[in-house]
A and B are shown apart, each in its own frame.
Chain A
Amino acid sequence: MNKNIDTKKIIISNPLKLDCGKEINKFPIAYKTYGELNSEKSNAILVFHALTGDQYVSGKNPITNKDGWWSYVVGENKPIDTNKFFVICANVIGGCMGSYGPSTINESTGKQIGTDFPIITINDMVNAQYELIKYLEIEKLFAVVGGSMGGMQVLQFVANFPDKAKLAIPIACTSSHSAQNIAFNELGRQAIMADSKWENGFYSNYKLNPDKGLAVARMAAHITYLSEKGLQEKFGRKLQDRDSLRYGFEADFQIESYLRYQGSVFVDRFDANSYLYITRAMDYFDLSKQYKGNLSDAFKETKTKFFVISFTSDWLYPTSENREIVIALNSIGADVGFVEIESDKGHDSFLLDVPSFLKTLGDYINSTYKVINERRI
């Protein structure tokens, strides 16, 4: 987590007042950019990452040596074409890829902050990233885009900064985290905290890592990102490297082996405390509550154009919850488009090769960019 990574980092000197009441200052934000900012500064797109994402949207992620998490969407000649757009993505605060988080070293003690890190919210994450946009001297973004927790940040960004983005694309998300989603997050947190190596969050002081707990958290969460049909079709009851059951608790089934693998690679790249803090931020997200129960009020001040996207097999952030965002926007006459994309890849659809999603998203962004530039808004 604290390996040398090829990323830009700025120190935010403005103090940031967090929702929990605490104030942070002189904190780092790690980010990466792709493409070039044009001379009018009109082609910038801020991408927000999801729970376990990072600033490595595209190209090789130097930590995992795998493709960036949104390589299907962002890159040269991709739907968000970096030949044309200047794409910015920052690691959220609370994260573990260089931005201020529980694994940041406290300079006065020389130790990781651990669970002395304050509780952060989606609002705090967005406010921190706005400091980066100011630092980059971008007056108005062309678009803010993100899926899942990234979509929540899109909504919060437009609510907080109604005139800072021309286009907002929240994908597979919600305006208010549901009981089911809180339940799954709690399961993950309990798995981490039940690991004896967690040490109340100060594991790094003892050179420990609650990797078993974090792996279980990832395995449980991973199931929620898929669909029943997708799982059945990909794995069914297929056995892993064997012809018959072994009558034991090894990974007999391919699905078991797959989940174990997902858990094991995750612990190499992610910090257990970050997992606790970021899932908490998602659980606390309730945009309509911020506006006294009226979600429409969150967008009352904005002229931002919206495009909401959901997926048929996403049961974690189902179409009904995405539709609520559309309804709230329509009820105030906002400019909002919406489509539910057919896919059996579950919540993960937004990260995967789903051609109708990629085509619609790319065509929409490009034609809207053209229209907005022609009109010179």
Chain B
Amino acid sequence: MKEEFNIISNLIEENTRVLDVGCGNGDLMKFLQENKTKDIRGLEISKEKVQNCLSKGLTVIEGNAESDLKQFPKSSFDYVILSQTLQAFLNPELVINELLKVGKKVIVTIPNFGYWRVRLQLLFKGTMPVTENLPHEWYNTPNLHMCTIKDFYNFCSSKNIKIFKSIALKKSRISEINKSNLNYKNLDSHLGIFLIES
């Protein structure tokens, strides 16, 4: 978690306007507030988590990214962050489009379904993968649209979404993803972090 926060924080310029979509209990918001910018908002669907955030004094709105991002004007945030939530939406493509409208830049992090530990479980055990990063069973997972680093990379190029920076994370090791190492990074990383722009 800490590494992901650090990477995201390093992608963000100081004193900019940030929206954290699916902000959970506000841990990333707090981290960014202490390290980067005071001007940060959150959107979260769970009442309980929204209340936790508000209790900490964070500015969070209860709402659903699929329907409630519309209320923000175009380019009203310098950065919009979607941390490990994309796979849980009914319509991830719509959400990405909304994020790109609301934010000048968008940071998306995805748990990589192409990670070798994930692949091995399906290949050898023949069961849906359960890992540290993807802890749910198939019958109770909130994840509806799992994807791999390569899937997301290809998605961006097919939709003409500019990738400014793509970073792979394995445990605490950080590396850049590019076209030539894509297949390797897709196998060897548990998390992908993308800085994109429409």
Binding site for B on A (CB under 8 A): 305, 307, 326-327, 330-333, 335-342, 356, 359-360, 363-364, 367-368, 370-371, 375
Contacts and interface: CB of A to CB of B under 8 A. Distances in A.
B54 A364 contact: yes
Given A307-B54, A330-B61, A331-B73, 4 more contacts: A338-B60, A363-B55, A367-B56, A367-B57
Nearest to B56: A367
Contacts of B61: 326, 330, 336-338
B51 A337 contact: no
Contacts of B62: 338-340
A356 B51 contact: yes
Interface of chain B, helix or strand or loop or mixed?
mixed
Interface string B41-75: 10000010011011111111111000000011100
A326 B54 contact: no
Contacts of B63: 338
14 contacts: A307-B54, A326-B71, A327-B71, A332-B73, A335-B41, A338-B62, A339-B50, A341-B51, A356-B51, A359-B55, A360-B54, A360-B55, A363-B54, A370-B57
Contacts of A375: 38
* Nearest 8 Cβ contacts at the A-B interface: A367-B57, A363-B55, A327-B71, A338-B61, A360-B51, A330-B71, A337-B59, A339-B50
Contacts of B73: 331-333
B102 to A, nearest CB: 10
Contact of B59 (A305, A332, A359, A360): A305
Contacts of A359: 51, 55
User: For the side of the interface on B, what is the size category?
Assistant: 20 to 34
B60 A337 contact: yes
Nearest to A361: B54
Nearest to A363: B55
Contacts of A360: 51, 54-55
B55 A367 contact: yes
Nearest to B53: A337
B72 A341 contact: no
Contacts of B71: 326-327, 330-331
A307 B47 CA distance: 15
B188 to A, nearest CB: 40
Interface string B84-114: 0000000000000000000000000000000
A333 B76 contact: yes
Nearest to B39: A335
B56 A363 contact: yes
Contacts of A335: 41, 59
A191 to B, nearest CB: 37
Nearest to A312: B47
Given A326-B61, A326-B71, A330-B71, A339 B54 contact: yes
Contacts of A331: 71-73
